Structure 1
Amino acid sequence: MERIEHRACFGGWQDVYRHESKVLGCAMNFAVYLPPQAEKERLPVLYWLSGLTCTEQNFITKAGAQRYAAEHGILLVVPDTSPRGDEVADAEGYDLGKGAGFYLNATQEPWARHYRMYDYIVEELPALVEANFPATAARAISGHSMGGHGALTIALKNPGRYRSVSAFSPIVAPTQVPWGEKAFTAYLGEDRASWKAWDATELVKSAPEKLPLLIDQGEGDEFLASQLRPQLLQAAAEAAGHPLQLRLRPGYDHSYYFIASFIGEHVAHHARALRGA
């Protein structure tokens, strides 16, 4: 690993590292916020997954989460949203290819070689973090939009691996909305039955662990009706008896202004699960 950024922040350090990912077959950046408590003890980790077009930079520069991570004594780990590099397949538009990995394992060419963000988030990155930073194996996961989709599906697919999960404006039913249909057709092929393994609304119907889901959704979100449709997950969770708290926020849109407004509540939610505080 190579540390490429190192900035003092709320008594701790906001760092960015670059490493060669064996899973993705390319160099990857990820951000780590080390709160002041990290100098004296090992801390639980909150993983944040960002949305379409983002890198590791968006969350660490716009959300203001470091303040709350320092308050609660939690490491923040923020990966990039897709593989990067000249050899990595890409496409025109913002919603497929680089910046749009959708946190799944692609099976179709030319994507399958590099687009394995699910394995990267679930296995490779935590192993790297827990081996090189003062991190415990207590994990939580959260994200926004495409990253909210990633957080929900990853938590639902891995019972016992995460203490808590939350999301802002998540794509809860990618098999039923244009963003997901475009990406899944490219990454996974035409067999729509195979898509269900990457759809939170489908996964919640038979999830072996009833990990409570916390979702904040702005009612002024320009993508609410066309791409997000949280009522689909809400109905599936109610039918399955899966705990879900869906908080609709009047006036808020899809931006980081929305995330910054409520990220403190989400960090506190995860802190209660991770530290009992």
Structure 2
Amino acid sequence: MTVEITATHRLHDGALRYCKHVSASTGTPMKFTVWTPDGEGPFPYLVWLSGLTCTEDNFTTKSGVYEHAARFGIAIVAPDTSPRGEGVADDPAYDLGQGAGFYVDATQAPWAPHFQMYSYVTKDLLEAVDGAFPLDPARRGIFGHSMGGHGALTLALRNPDLFKSVSAFSPIVSPLNCPWGDKAMTAYLGEDRAAWRAHDACALIEDGAGQSFDDILIEQGLADSFLENQLKPELIEAAATKAGRKITVRRQDGYDHSYFFITSFIGEHLAWHAQRL
């Protein structure tokens, strides 16, 4: 799979590359960034999945992650959140369509031809970066924010062979039980809610998925305006308790849903992943 590097920047004793390639899953060009520390590698790495309205650039420019990645010698991969371009379905709302792929493989019109983000991340993206950069696929973790937190949790739980660690900031833990999930899953997967279970972290834990993870770290701001209506971390705590699983939810007083929250705790997440990778 050919990767085109469109820009390179040096920072924190490493190289940040803006990249694009053609995805077989989405049938479109897709963009991502890769930061690697100096040296030959192969390096352990983390895949970051961003939230609603984001591109590959939001986390790259706002999170402050690379200083911490350099300290731990961990590479970082950050893809876009959806297919884009001419002929790709879209919706005027911010929480559906381009910028809102929800990391599922859509089965419904008009989304199915291009909105195959589950397959994109778990197959096309990993094949592209593993082949083009000095990364160690045996030491790969995943994390994300909001919609991307949902993606990180569900992709890891379903693919413990691909990801050795997982954490999330302000994740949508149960699309089965929130308005964002109702809207997106109905549009992408149809009315049969049984088909949604494979994309719901709480349901996956209830069904026994991803038991190899020793812990899952979730960071949640208590001043998050989406906390009670959309995020509901208590649901994943209840699912974990019932299943006898360990999930650590850290509630942070005064923090909201923004990248100000993410940058405040991203270093602690890098340290947590470093212990497992």
Alpha-carbon separation, structure 2, partners of 1:40 and 1:102: 34
Shift of 1:159: 2.4
Assess if the C-alpha contact under 8 Å between 2:159 and 2:210 holds in 1: no
Query: What SS class does the counterpart of residue 61 from structure 2 fall into?
Result: helix
1:183 aligns with 2:200: no
Whether contact under 8 Å (1:144, 1:169) holds in the other structure is yes
Q: Is the partner of 1:78 in helix, strand or coil? A: strand
Query: Which residue number corresponds to residue 158 of structure 2?
Result: 157
**Counterpart in the other structure of 2:227:** 224
Partner of 2:21: 19
RMSD of Structure 2 on Structure 1 (CA):
0.8
Match of 2:141 in 1: 140
* Residues 202-211 or 8-17, more deviating: 202-211
1:207 paired residue number: 209
- The normalised TM-score by structure 2 is 0.97
* 1:143 partner SS: strand
5+ residue gaps, structure 2: none
Amino acid paired to 2:147: M
**Are the counterparts in 1 of residues 169 and 220 from structure 2 also a CA contact under 8 Å?**
yes
Q: 2:276 aligns with which of 258, 264, 273?
A: 273
Partners of 1:7 and 1:159 in 2: CA distance: 32
Q: How many residues align?
A: 272
1:208 CA displacement: 4.7
Partner of residue 100, structure 2:
100
The percentage of aligned residue pairs carrying the same residue is: 53
Contact 2:5 2:18 in 1 (8 A): yes
1:14-71 per-residue CA deviation (whole Å, 9 max, x = no partner) reads: 11101111111001100001112xx322101100000000001000100000001111
Q: Which runs of 5 or more residues in structure 1 are unaligned?
A: none
Deviation at 1:197, TM superposition (A): 1.1
Q: Name the counterpart of 1:77.
A: 77
Contact map agreement 1:160 1:209 (CA 8 A) in 2: no
From 259, 271, 277, the counterpart of 2:262 = 259
Distance, in Å, in 2 between the alignment partners of 1:128 and 1:2 is: 10
What's the secondary structure of 1:7's corresponding residue? strand
CA contact under 8 A between 2:217 and 2:248: conserved in structure 1?
A: yes
Is residue 150–residue 201 contact of structure 2 (8 Å, CA) maintained in 1? yes
TM normalised by structure 1 equals 0.97
Task: Look up the equivalent residue of 1:24 and give its one-letter code.
Answer: T
Q: Measure the CA separation in 2 of the matches of 1:269 and 1:9.
A: 22
SS in 2 for 1:187: helix
For 1:124 and 1:2, locate their aligned partners in 2 and report how far apart those are by CA, in whole Å.
14
Shift of residue 161, structure 1, vs aligned partner: 1.9
Quote the offset at 1:102 in angstroms.
0.2
Runs of 4+ in 1 over 2 A off after TM superposition: none
Q: Is the aligned partner of 1:239 residue 2:242?
A: yes
Query: 1:270 deviation in Å?
Result: 0.8
